[in-house]
Each structure stands twice: as C-alpha cells, then as structure tokens.
C-alpha cells in the first residue's frame, strides 16, 4: 500500500517536467494518490496551446491524473471553477500544492527599489496573495487532517542578489503560510512551505539559478546541490499523515545551505595572502 492510497488532491502550477510541483506530484501518484492539475492559461492566439501541452505530456500517461484545467490566479472566478471541478471529481480533497509565482521580467531583473508600482502589484498578487485566495476557496472541500503546501525560497529570508522583487514576494508568502496555518488549524488543515535550494526549473532560469548552483555546492554542509527527487519526496512527506503535527513551517531542502553563517569551504578557493 502507498501512503496516498485513497487520497485525492490538487497540484496547481505545474509548468513542465522540471517543475518542483511535478516532482512532488510524481511521488504522490506513485504512492496511489489521485490528482487534479491546473496549468497556466494559453493565449487566445496560441493555436498550439503550449502551456497545456507541456503539462498534458506528463499527465496523460498517469491514470490517477484525473483532470487538467487552466487557471489564472488573478481571477477569483477561475480559482472557484477549479475548486468546483475538484468537488465534482473528488467530493473532498486531502492535499493541495500551490506552485505559482510570477513577476514581470523588467521588474524582476532591475533593482528592487526601482520596481514599478504595477510590477509590484502583479508580482505580489500572483506570488503571494494567490495562496490566500486558493486556500479561501478550497477550505470548504479540504478534509480534516488535510494539508496545503506552497513553494518558497531563501531569498525571502535573506538578500539574494538577482532575486530582487521575488524575494519580497516570498517573504510575504512565508508570512501568509503562518497566518493561514493559524486560521485553518481548527479545521484540521495544515499549511506549510518547502524552501528548496536552486534547481534547473523554468522559474529558476529567470532568477539566475546557474550562478547559484556553484555557490551552493561549495557552501552547503553537504558540499553538493539537491535533486528534484529529494524535494519531491520531502514535499510528499509534508502532505502525508506522517507529518500531522507540523504546520506553519518552512522546511529547507537545500543540503543545509541556510544554516551557514560564513562562506564555509568556499574560502578554500580564495588565495591566501602572505603574512
């Protein structure tokens, strides 16, 4: 028997096979869970439906992937429609993965101080407020002992040059996790986050992940980077009944990078000055 036999849930925001959300979904599917998926809506002029196609190539071969629908989290109507679809398909759900973040590239790449007002609104609404909105609509179909999991990053705790306005959004997302955990706790709904180290994902490329990989490899206590599989297993554990006593937490899956207070072994690469 798998940990998710008889369990049903939503995974919102898979972009492609490199998405952390897909790594988590794979673990759940392999252990018997049934999942409804959302994808970023395609533009009306995109006849190839690229966003849907990238995700359907993953889900079509999975018997327990029950549906795939578009969702724009800036629309309450679309969020409600996805929750209604889940209610029709499953009745109630046991888990929900929120993997949604976006900032306009011109605002993400520039100094945080120079972020435009509109860029700030879009980034914050998409990357942080969307967790509150999804949780609000989903709470009516989430069972007792259910779990919500979102994806954050260390750039919301400390300054990571290049992460810029997204770091501000992740700091807000981290606070949303804690306040939602308080709000939903009496209903038996847990709310947590995974803070993963750098991985080659669509979002990671936009945030300069290639520059971070070498840094993490030299600085982390484990002297290596993490894998998609490691984050997937950690995420599935956080959504399972094995973590029932945990809520409002940010679990770092980063080979220990977040504990470091100095460059660590990276100093070994710095030429020593003669005394």
Helices 130-138 & 76-90 angle (0-180, nearest 10): 40
* Those residues with Cβ within 8 angstroms of residue 143's Cβ, 6 or more apart along the chain or in another chain: 92, 93, 94, 188
CA distance 144 to 15: 29
From 102, 129, 163, 257, the catalytic residue: 163
CA distance 64 to 27: 12
CA distance 100 to 19: 11
Helices 228-239 & 20-30 angle (0-180, nearest 10): 60
CA distance 275 to 270: 15
Burial call 126-135: b when 16+ CB within 10 Å, e when fewer? bbbbbbebbb
DSSP 267: G
From 102, 129, 137, 153, the catalytic residue: 153
Task: Decide if 179 is catalytic.
Answer: no
CA distance 6 to 14: 22
CA dihedral over 78, 84, 88, 89, signed as positive or negative: positive
Task: Decide if 153 is catalytic.
Answer: yes
DSSP 271: P
Catalytic site positions: 153, 163
């Amino acid at each position: 028997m798998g940990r998710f036999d008889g369990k049903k849930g939503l995974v919102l925001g898979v972009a492609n096979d490199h998405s952390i959300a897909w790594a988590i979904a794979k673990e759940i599917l392999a252990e018997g869970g049934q999942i409804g998926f959302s994808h970023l809506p395609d533009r009306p002029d995109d006849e190839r439906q690229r966003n849907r196609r990238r995700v359907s190539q993953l889900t079509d071969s999975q018997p327990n992937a029950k549906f795939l629908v578009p969702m724009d989290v800036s629309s309450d109507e679309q969020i409600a429609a996805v929750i209604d679809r889940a209610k029709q398909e499953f009745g109630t759900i046991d888990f929900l993965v929120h993997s949604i973040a976006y900032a306009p590239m011109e605002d993400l790449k520039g100094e945080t101080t120079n972020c435009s007002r509109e860029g700030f609104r879009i980034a914050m609404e998409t990357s942080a407020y969307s967790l509150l909105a999804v949780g609000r609509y989903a709470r009516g179909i989430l069972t007792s002992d259910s779990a919500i999991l979102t994806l954050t990053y260390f750039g919301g705790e400390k300054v990571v040059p290049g992460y810029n306005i997204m770091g501000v959004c992740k700091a807000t997302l981290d606070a949303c996790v804690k306040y939602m955990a308080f709000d939903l706790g009496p209903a038996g709904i847990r709310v947590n986050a995974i803070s993963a180290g750098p991985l080659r994902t669509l979002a990671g490329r936009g945030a300069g992940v290639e520059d971070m990989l070498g840094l993490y490899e030299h600085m982390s206590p484990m002297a290596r980077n993490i894998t998609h599989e490691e984050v997937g297993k950690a995420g599935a554990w956080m959504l399972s009944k094995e973590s029932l006593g945990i809520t409002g937490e940010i679990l770092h899956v980063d080979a220990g990078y977040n504990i470091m207070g100095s460059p660590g072994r990276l100093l070994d690469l710095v030429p020593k000055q003669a005394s």
